[in-house]
Amino acid sequence: MIAIPAAVDVAALKDTTLLNMGIFGLFVAVTMVIVFRASRNNKTAADYYAAGRSFTGSQNGTAIAGDYLSAASFLGITGAIAINGYDGFMYSIGFLVAWLVALLLVAELLRNTGKFTMADVLSFRLKQRPVRIAAAISTLAVCFFYLLAQMAGAGSLISLLLGISDWGGQALVIIVVGALMIMYVLIGGMKGTTWVQIIKAILLIAGAAVMTFWVLAIYGFNFSALLGGAVETANNPAVLNPGLQYGKSDASKLDFMSLGLALVLGTAALPHVLMRFYTVPTAKEARKSVVWSIWLIGLFYLFTLVLGYGAAALVGAETIKSAPGGVNSAAPLLAFFLGGPLLLGFISAVAFATILAVVAGLTITAAASFAHDIYASVIAKGKADAETEVKVARRTVVVIGVLAIVGGIFANGQNVAFLVALAFAVAASANLPTIIYSLFWRRFTTQGAIWSMYGGLGSAIILIALSPVVSGSATSMIKDANFALFPLSNPGIVSIPLAFLLGWLGTVLDKNREDTTKQAEMEVRSLTGIGAEKAVDH
Amino acid sequence: MGSDAPTRDAAESVDFVQVQSTEQFKELRKRHRSFVFPMAVAFLLWYFAYVLLADYAVEFMSTKVWGNINVGLILGLLQFVSTFAITGWYVSYSNRRLDPIATEIRQGIEGHEFDKDGVAVSGGKK
């Protein structure tokens, strides 16, 4: 039996503000207690950055899923499918397949060779100083773009969920989210942050599962009927076919290739995902974590397929687009349609928790990179003790938190998916070639790493600045100017191959040879796990 | 208690160049690379083939197969299936072919077979 979709009254959403705030407050209270309890054993750098390497593979896998299923994944993909149909689905495929790169080529080898940060691995057998600085700069750049995306997402969510539509009110909420995040990270360190991620991932996946079951039940568990409903509401059979969003022109088709490349190669180079592999005791647990996260993330994206088409069928693209929060409001509106204020409150709280948790994970990664790679290794030249390093990391957390709040207030209203895709493109260009070369290519040298990292980072950012996203079109950040010399909005298709090429060229042209004993050590360590950092006993 | 130093001891005096040149290690490296490289190439080709089809063969992808389910949706869901399958395959391959030999090499190192100076170090497990 197919229910007749009742109109969703967007104005009625404001009556649920108190309920939303109550559920969100409950989440904050519960997680705060857990963070406090988890923080009692935070004594050393390994505790603070890597949670004492004491998490199991399944716990860490759930936390990785929590990190990865950001607001952009949940709200963004559901919204993209609801509005653009099939093209939104292709995002989730790229996001999922990307995990195979992490599983096969990166996770275990990285766990065996590093200690706390991505730079540990990249600088293992190359010259410490220049490579560490480059790796830390690209880590900070990726984290910053990702942070901006999450904070901007918080702003647009708030307008819908809490009924706060004025700029000052939204800014206030961004400040509250930022302050909460700083508290989590300061008190809890990696352990507290990981627990927040685990709780959030379970709530998010459970919430999505309930909604998926509900939507399918409305259509008698017939997926084809659900698709039929989406076509009927949209009055456009093309929502089931590829090309609605990206098939418009040759440039947009190429843009999709570029996006696909950035998505599939970016994941295994995201510093906040890489850092998660250090929270488990062995490489085998690192492998288990990736397996867990692949299953959870895959399952979740299957849910979003149903939810996206469900929102298209039951709420309708027009209602979604005109609601405050626009495309991002598809999932909350669907929740309201299905379960009324209570389900909306739950889903909204989960969406907020998502932003909070992802922001916390990014902040600790950026702080660890600054304190461990720039402060301890470069400024203090390796003479800083672990205690000072952690102190620096904590101060960095506050600085990054404040920057994220300020950036978030100004980025409020910007396109969230664009900022996330930018972070993926920068990560894939700046980090992935060097990760792969240093793990698998014996001849790779410092010059190759430096050329590849700065070349990848620089070309990605310059191409973005010259893209239609920044200037020259109606949806650009700067509408009044036009310096869009590069026709694509995602730079991946140029900057990623360029970074691989520069890594090769820099190595081949390098007159210096790297230390072969260091290469032997890295290769043996990475494959056997000998001497890898073990769990901290308490 | 948690300090960063003690775990390094076992590996400090190891002659890694010697380990790297053993047949056993070469075998481990060969087994690892002969699985992950072809597999990585295969799934990336399959993924880009899918993206190219969705990008440039819209009509083919829009062909209805059953009810409202079209070729594009089936191929998309097959990407999920292949991802899950490769994950399972890799885990079983590692358990059978990689982990045992890696453990053997590690125990050899920890048993000081490869020490540069032949002096026993603290922290190694027998």
Chain B interface includes A251 (CB < 8 A): no
Residue A524 has pLDDT above 70, yes or no: yes
Across A53-60, average pLDDT: 84
How many beta-carbon contacts under 8 Å exist across A and B? 179
**Per-residue pLDDT reduced to its tens digit, A159-174:** 666 667 777 877 887 8
pLDDT given for residue A48 in this prediction: 75
> Which residues have C-beta within 8 Å of that of residue A454, sequence separation ≥ 6?
A134, A430
Q: Say yes or no for a CB contact (<8 Å) between B10 and A531.
A: yes
- Smallest CA–CA separation between A520 and chain B, in Å? 5
Q: Which of B13, B16, B107 to mutate to probe the A interface, most A CBs <10 Å?
A: B16
Across A36-59, average pLDDT: 77
Q: Say yes or no for a CB contact (<8 Å) between A298 and B80.
A: yes
The CA-CA-CA angle for residues A320, A323, A329, to 5°, reads 60
Q: Are A84 and A305 in contact (CB under 8 A)?
A: no
pLDDT given for residue A5 in this prediction: 45
Q: Say yes or no for a CB contact (<8 Å) between B4 and A44.
A: yes
- Segment among A384-393, A519-528, B65-74 with least mean pLDDT: A384-393
- The residue that leads in pLDDT, A414 or A125, is A125
Residue of B nearest to A516 (CA): B17
Chain A environment of B17 (Cβ under 8 Å): 516-517, 520
pLDDT given for residue B37 in this prediction: 95
Residues for chain B: how many in total? 126
The kind and range of the H/E element at B70 are strand B69-70
Chain B interface includes A443 (CB < 8 A): no
- Segment among A89-93, A386-390, A445-449 with least mean pLDDT: A386-390
Q: Say yes or no for a CB contact (<8 Å) between A224 and B87.
A: no
Q: What is the 3-state secondary structure (H, E, C) of A192-226?
A: HHHHHHHHHHHHHHHHHHHHHHHHHHHCCCCHHHH
pLDDT given for residue A1 in this prediction: 36
B66 DSSP β-pair partners: B69
- Give me the interface pTM, i.e. the ipTM: 0.88
Chain B environment of A297 (Cβ under 8 Å): none
**Per-residue pLDDT reduced to its tens digit, A259-281:** 899 999 998 899 988 888 888 88
**Per-residue pLDDT reduced to its tens digit, A187-243:** 888 888 888 888 889 989 999 999 999 999 999 888 888 988 888 888 888 888 887
Nearest Cβ partner of B32 from A96, A298, A527? Answer: A527
How many angstroms separate the CA atoms of A245 and A256, rounded?
9
How many angstroms separate the CA atoms of A45 and A55, rounded?
16
Q: Say yes or no for a CB contact (<8 Å) between B51 and A99.
A: no
What sign results for the dihedral spanned by CA atoms A177, A143, B41, A250? positive
Across A404-417, average pLDDT: 74
What sign results for the dihedral spanned by CA atoms A443, A140, A424, B81? positive
> Which residues have C-beta within 8 Å of that of residue A217, sequence separation ≥ 6?
none
> What proportion of chain A, given as a percentage, has pLDDT over 70?
91
Q: Say yes or no for a CB contact (<8 Å) between B1 and A537.
A: yes
- The residue that leads in pLDDT, A37 or B47, is B47
- A237, burial (CB in 10 Å: exposed 0-12, middle 13-18, buried 19+): middle
Q: Say yes or no for a CB contact (<8 Å) between A86 and B73.
A: yes
> What proportion of chain A, given as a percentage, has pLDDT over 90?
25
Residue of B nearest to A46 (CA): B4
- Phi, psi (5° rounding) for residue A171? -60, -40
> Which residues have C-beta within 8 Å of that of residue A481, sequence separation ≥ 6?
A471, A472
> Which residues have C-beta within 8 Å of that of residue A277, sequence separation ≥ 6?
A60, A107, A110, A111, A286, A289
- pLDDT band for A303, please (50, 70, 90 cuts): very high
Residues of chain B with pLDDT under 50: 1-9, 118-126
How many angstroms separate the CA atoms of A77 and A60, rounded?
24
Q: Are A335 and A315 in contact (CB under 8 A)?
A: no
Chain A environment of B38 (Cβ under 8 Å): none
- B117, burial (CB in 10 Å: exposed 0-12, middle 13-18, buried 19+): exposed
Chain A environment of B51 (Cβ under 8 Å): 90, 94, 256-257, 260
Q: Say yes or no for a CB contact (<8 Å) between B40 and A242.
A: no
**Per-residue pLDDT reduced to its tens digit, A396-406:** 889 988 988 88
Indicate the SS3 state at residue A396: helix
Residues 260-279 of A with CB under 8 A from B: 260, 264
Residue A45 has pLDDT above 90, yes or no: no
pLDDT given for residue A420 in this prediction: 80
Residues 179-238 of A with CB under 8 A from B: 222-225, 227-228, 231
Residue of A nearest to B3 (CA): A44
Chain B environment of A44 (Cβ under 8 Å): 1-4
Chain B environment of A43 (Cβ under 8 Å): 1-2
